[in-house]
Structure 1
């Protein structure tokens, strides 16, 4: 492992200071009130190309990146993940948690000129959120009826409380579709999906497959004076080197989700025309983790899972493998979820000697060749970062006598192998936790997902009736303080059982032009509109 870490450390060393400074305002000057200037085309990098432009049944990042500028939601989220008004100007939750009332903004129009009303929200909840949206079925399943006493009021009636609803109702989390264009149609195959009509700050104009997607300013937008930009041009640039060159040359001014390799970040951040920022991902709260196949003859023993945890230096993974763009995780509920995160969960500090003792105690002694047993590790094929993580794990576990074979494949094969066929020993991937653990965390531990072959749900095969009961009670608890206590018990149990080992709280980064102002102002920015962005000295039109 020494040669591996030394090589990466030399590449990463000077990037650590850069990463440590990220997440703060890009410059002191941006904290001073400035008068936005109008005009200009924002060229944003889109990779990979989306398969659809409507987020009703697709939660892939490229779809949401584009759609967030076309569709407004009921709310947006600040950096503390508190909901802020958007299409809903106010809302109330009844003390018993069984009624949600949303007061809608007046005078909002769909891009085709039709009025936006409560009927659109009711129809979307009943036909999209409760039925085809991948994350929302469970959150809205307790909604028994929706009243619309007038065009600006929506009242949800629930059989049981579901407080996480307030954490998913932005433009892509709970997309509102125009009822007059979808009602009575095949929603999944409606041609409007790829020529979307929303209420957002930008209007869809053109999609040239393999090249670009063009949006133009909504001149009739409800938020007076916005957007400041004339248009957004989303360019599809598959090659990482080409993305870096486009940013460096000013041909593109905005790119999200680690658009260039880590080795290029420090060089680009040092350029006067570019800035790097790690804010705007709080709503996603991504977490890198390992899933143990608990049906594996080795990993069914909790001592072996604990041994692996002690054998891995998460500080090294953060600093060396991920170039400082992450911090060691201790819980599946990341620290960005301040309300729910428990800092007192069981810990597994880096201790190879302890790992060896646990493996010996479990009956897996070293053989004559020094090997205790061999396993296969499948990593998420989203780029070199995940492959390097696999290489580190291979060498770290070899130190304690576990031989690891790294297996690579495309995304479809990875999903089938891990979540459908369960033909793996150890896998690594990442999940978004989102603002409430009920949305993005519990799916990795609830036994109800087993057998469904649903990606990124309980890959370990974990079954614990106590944990299932905690998950189910939290889902219908109407008192948030009680939910916090339930999730603390949940964290203590699953971190003790350790079917899934949290590795890092990832810090994705955004690169944008230095003269692009107002581009990162909210906690769901990378899934939100750029209506507040403007150029100080607007570039030439494309």
Structure 2
């Protein structure tokens, strides 16, 4: 979650037209060169594998498929294909049965019953209550320091009461609890030790089985028909597209610059499909830092960013300016007024803070799209008197720095946020890493009180508390909201059955057919 094009924000005064003209000239030359490369790639013979396989290109590596630890978006999306879940969430963010049905015995007790037929693990054994208990207890164990612990809310204990029955006991009432039971289930023989080594803790009972996992390639096998599914890590977007056109990849999703998508949309034999997305892109601050810990500095940064220009010129309009972590249309999302683009106000705020042209370090990944965004933000902030040094690191190092708090500024995206208490996981002072995702060390008693109160109630009162928490967070500004980016996939003409989800999940791969399957009809 991120080359370059000269960028000038709309609304700039003298020189803006000239800068945009130069930018257009650079884009025209770049697109011309790109078109030539794509034409040459298209001249090659399409490459089909000897055995049935669907190949998808990824911009980022898959770092950890262990469902007890969670992690980056690429890992989470692939992991969903490997493991069964007790409960899932539907398109309206409401819980629905997956591998189990549930009933509420009283305010503190829930009983889950595994549905028939129960899924089977890779060794043929059935998923049983002991597997569920071992997986959830591993996350509850303080010694494991799982970052997913906070997502289980007030869950206190888990016990198997009968074959296929599991009781969950809470420390306090929690109206959202069924929707928390989305953890991928491991076999008990693997779940008990977080230090278990592969392939044990990658043995799931989902629609796919893991065959190989390396730094640049993940190979799965679809259980229903033995189709191979291969994820290839190709950080450079142009190289990913060239591989698709040469038949070395079949499917790409997101992380492609607008000029590539426009060029691909004009090519025969290539599908380009867009849909609204819920991934929330933001600029994060380290509040423990003496400079970015000053609210006036954070406000100056927010007023120095022209989000509409970024969406228009950098993303070709394929995004919607964001206000909150909760996605558009969520029942608990607050309507928030954006920070107005006002470089003059940004300068006044810096003067009030006693800072003259402060220097900030902004960390991002080596993904070219993210570097382009960082460069555009660097230019906008410079116009308001804020000097920014952009540091790009390979994904593992970058994400490790973010989790460890080694940053002043960084940009990332939250994907798949559905439950409103994700706000607690991200912004509560008790959710510092590794037990939570409050990476900027944000501590606000008013926000804590609102999130604590929301956890003790339900219905519209709960939704109202979450909305007020979002308003207070927005005023305290640990994040500058940027946008919700559209999802897009690019596929070769023979790919059938793939569908985009708002959260960007790859679930539709369970039913997707590779190009050669159509050719043999």
Normalising to structure 2: TM-score of the pair? 0.79
Residue matched to 1:100: 110
Three-state SS of the structure 1 residue aligned to 2:167 is strand
Contact 1:140/1:162 (CA < 8 Å) preserved in 2?
Answer: no
What does 1:147-162 correspond to in 2, within 5 Å? 147-162=159-174
Residue matched to 1:20: none
Contact 2:216/2:233 (CA < 8 Å) preserved in 1?
Answer: yes
Contact 2:146/2:434 (CA < 8 Å) preserved in 1?
Answer: no
CA deviation map 1:17-66 (0-9, x unaligned): xxxxxxxxxxxxxxxxxxxxxx9532222454434444332423343343
What does 1:142-541 correspond to in 2, within 5 Å? 142-170=154-182, 174-179=183-188, 181-182=189-190, 186-193=193-200, 196-204=202-210, 206-207=211-212, 209=214, 212-218=217-223, 227=224, 230-258=227-255, 260-279=256-275, 285-294=278-287, 299-335=292-328, 338-343=330-335, 345-359=336-350, 362=352, 364=354, 372-411=356-395, 414=398, 420=404, 422=406, 424=408, 426-432=409-415, 434-439=417-422, 441-449=423-431, 452=433, 457-459=438-440, 461-474=441-454, 476-520=455-499, 522-523=501-502, 526-528=505-507, 530-534=509-513, 538=517
**1:114: how far off?**
1.4
**1:348: how far off?**
1.8
Q: Structure 1's 123 and 485: CA in aligned 2 closer, same or farther, altered over 3 A?
A: same
Contact 2:190/2:200 (CA < 8 Å) preserved in 1?
Answer: no
Residue 78 (structure 2) pairs with residue 66 (structure 1): yes
Three-state SS of the structure 2 residue aligned to 1:111 is coil
Q: Structure 1's 406 and 156: CA in aligned 2 closer, same or farther, altered over 3 A?
A: same
Contact 1:73/1:176 (CA < 8 Å) preserved in 2?
Answer: yes
CA deviation map 1:158-187 (0-9, x unaligned): 1113444444544xxx110112x3266x44
Looking at structure 2, the residues matched to 527 and 168 of structure 1 have their Cα atoms a distance apart, in angstroms, of 20
Residue matched to 1:127: 138
Looking at structure 2, the residues matched to 352 and 335 of structure 1 have their Cα atoms a distance apart, in angstroms, of 28
**1:268: how far off?**
2.0
Looking at structure 2, the residues matched to 298 and 236 of structure 1 have their Cα atoms a distance apart, in angstroms, of 36
**1:416: how far off?**
6.3
Contact 1:58/1:133 (CA < 8 Å) preserved in 2?
Answer: no
Looking at structure 1, the residues matched to 405 and 456 of structure 2 have their Cα atoms a distance apart, in angstroms, of 35
Three-state SS of the structure 2 residue aligned to 1:406 is strand
Residue matched to 2:152: 140
Q: Structure 1's 423 and 255: CA in aligned 2 closer, same or farther, altered over 3 A?
A: closer
Looking at structure 2, the residues matched to 382 and 163 of structure 1 have their Cα atoms a distance apart, in angstroms, of 41
Q: Structure 1's 139 and 415: CA in aligned 2 closer, same or farther, altered over 3 A?
A: closer
Contact 2:264/2:270 (CA < 8 Å) preserved in 1?
Answer: yes
**1:247: how far off?**
1.8
Looking at structure 2, the residues matched to 203 and 276 of structure 1 have their Cα atoms a distance apart, in angstroms, of 29
Tell me the C-alpha RMSD between the 2 structures: 3.5
Which shifted more, 481-490 or 64-73?
Answer: 64-73
Q: Structure 1's 240 and 331: CA in aligned 2 closer, same or farther, altered over 3 A?
A: closer
Consecutive unaligned residues of structure 2, counting only runs of 5 or more, are: 1-7, 9-15, 29-50
Looking at structure 1, the residues matched to 227 and 194 of structure 2 have their Cα atoms a distance apart, in angstroms, of 31
**1:308: how far off?**
2.8
Q: Structure 1's 306 and 141: CA in aligned 2 closer, same or farther, altered over 3 A?
A: closer
Larger relative contact order (CA 8 Å, sep ≥ 6): 1
Q: Structure 1's 197 and 340: CA in aligned 2 closer, same or farther, altered over 3 A?
A: same
